[in-house]
Amino acid sequence: MRKRRAESFAEAVERLAARPTRPRRVRAGRRGDSWADPSGVAYTLVDDGLRPSVALALAAQGARVVYDACGCGGVECELDWLSGAEVATLASRGRPPIVRSSEDGRADLEHWRSEEGGDLVVAAVDVSWGDRIPR
């Protein structure tokens, strides 16, 4: 019976390097200068003073929409990611979101875009949109 030759260090490195790697899973929410959706798609800021009429147009074009109740970006609270059907319903009603400044002055409507060209609308704190995003 033949004794099996031990794998060299170089062969082990080559074998491990050839293995497919899984992409790193990004947690949904804001992290510094970017947002990530629940599927891990990253977005960069386009406009931090998004007009409600443009938010409505983006929703009509299929943008993702997330409501951030406290403005933490998902660090301290759970984000409310609207489904595609919910976004389509809001868009079909033709009424843009309402941005109200609160006592502490927080009401944000932002536009973010992925490298693939997907859009994300972030509604934070004192923003309401139809009966789906309360405030």
For residue range 54-90, list pLDDT tens digits in order.
999 999 999 999 999 989 999 998 999 999 999 999 9
Confidence class for position 23, pLDDT limits 50, 70, 90: low
pLDDT, position 24: 53
- Answer yes or no: is pLDDT of 25 > 60: no
Work out the angle at residue 57's Cα, subtended by the Cα atoms of residues 36 and 47, and round it to the nearest 5 degrees.
50
Lowest mean pLDDT among 23-27, 43-47, 77-81, 96-100: 23-27
Structure tokens given for 4: 């099996």
**pTM for this model (two decimals):** 0.79
What is the pLDDT averaged over residues 4-32?
77
> Domain spans of the chain?
27-128
